[in-house]
Structure 1
Amino acid sequence: MSDWREYGPPIRVEGGIRARSRRGQIAQTWWSQRFIEVLESFGMGGRLQRGKRYARAGQVLSMSVSKSLVVAQVQGSRETPYRVRIGMKAFSAAEWARIEEALAGQALFAAKLLAGEMPTDIEAEFERLGLRLFPDTMRELTMDCSCPDWEIPCKHLAAACYLLAESFDEDPFQILAWRGRGREELLDRLRSLRGTKAAAREDEVAPLAECMESFWTMPPLPGGSGGEPARPDAVLDQLDPLRVEGIDVVERLRPAYRALGAAED
């Protein structure tokens, strides 16, 4: 069998997928940088660098992200392009139900996702549920390439990893699709759950027709119980402490409230 190292430089191609970054780091957003950091933490840092030149030269012919699997074709030194696959375990339906419930329950998370952004605290939310957005160990990833290079990742896999990070820059939902939930399905679930929660809150409020007689009535001041009249200064008990130049403003107001109450009596 011929040694793979006897082959020369890669065959140049036209129309390949080129990394937008021409120098320095490729990943730009926090979530794509996090993905590269995770791969480097598995001891892949040096081997990843080998694929950066391929990614910038447009040697990746195609790449698709679907549930659990990224598939790419990379042109190397042989006439036939190499097939690259990067797999990661998808979350189960039950796990996604928990994730969606948690994300829908926080207005900021839901708003950012509906706007096409990845919330900065989303990793912590996944961890709170006992899950990981990004792989925690190398065992969670499977990588293979049809080239004869035995190292993982080879430069073809590494090129695909860099372009995958850039695809995360463009569309953070690619990360979630890889974990098993596509953009539209996730957003539809969040809208549905947010709508259900809003409807539940509305059900807790009495219809206007049922409270017309008391609509313009001032609610009782806090502090009274049973038939006892509320203290005139009871409303001050609801205020947070406020001190100005060492003076307790709330306590300074209390005699005035009591005086007003006495005058009304």
Structure 2
Amino acid sequence: MYYWSDEIAPSSGRRGLRWGFTSRRGGVSAPPHDELNLGGRTGDDPDAVARNREVVASSVGVTVDRLLFMDQCHGTDVVVVDGPWAGSTPPADGMVTTRDDLALAVLVADCVPVLLADRVAGVVGVVHAGRPGMTARIVDEAVASMRALGALRIIAAVGPSVCGRCYEVPAAMRDAAADVSPVSATVSWSGTPAIDVAAGVVDQLRGHDVAVTWVPGCSREDERLYSYRQTGQTGRFAGVVRLGPLAATA
């Protein structure tokens, strides 16, 4: 079910943490969304998506109504979450919370999923960073939102996404990305202009003194992941994070 995951036990003054990136294995969706599609706007059977989300919610110890998704729109809005959505899901590309009874999720199928945590302050967050989000520096907004909630020592897990070799773009688009994060400018397998969005995201996180775990993998090259660039109609995998409790005191 998970492409990569980690669970960190609570320790003195530090909360526990569960976070990871799902794969496309272990769900009930039929082709072309097979198997663990978590995206609700992909043309998949809504009942299958709901069952898949229940599986992921259970894996991090919450009920499905407490596994929160965003209405992602390639913007820079980051919302502070303190409970299940009341009404429609808000448009946003980042969420942060101090609640340990919620799990936050970000959907991707080539874009960069980012998970954030400060185990001391007790703050976690997620970010959807495609090329528009990276160049608009949504990372800055997410870090600022976490710090407004008291975060000081932020760590991040950056998940698999389409790699620079597979993300061919017009030269002007690559140049615009390089103006924001020079390390994002690269070339494709065939030597044409390309963008490494994840490299730009990691560069921006490190610019905020965020310690980064960068999970290797290319969504277009790895059949365990969903990739819009590879297949067109496809599902979505997710980055999921949940804050854990403080260590028990004697």
**TM-score for both structures, normalised by structure 2:** 0.23
Q: TM-score, normalised by structure 1?
A: 0.22
Q: Which has the higher helix share?
A: 1
Higher RCO (C-alpha 8 Å, min separation 6): 2
More strand by share: 2
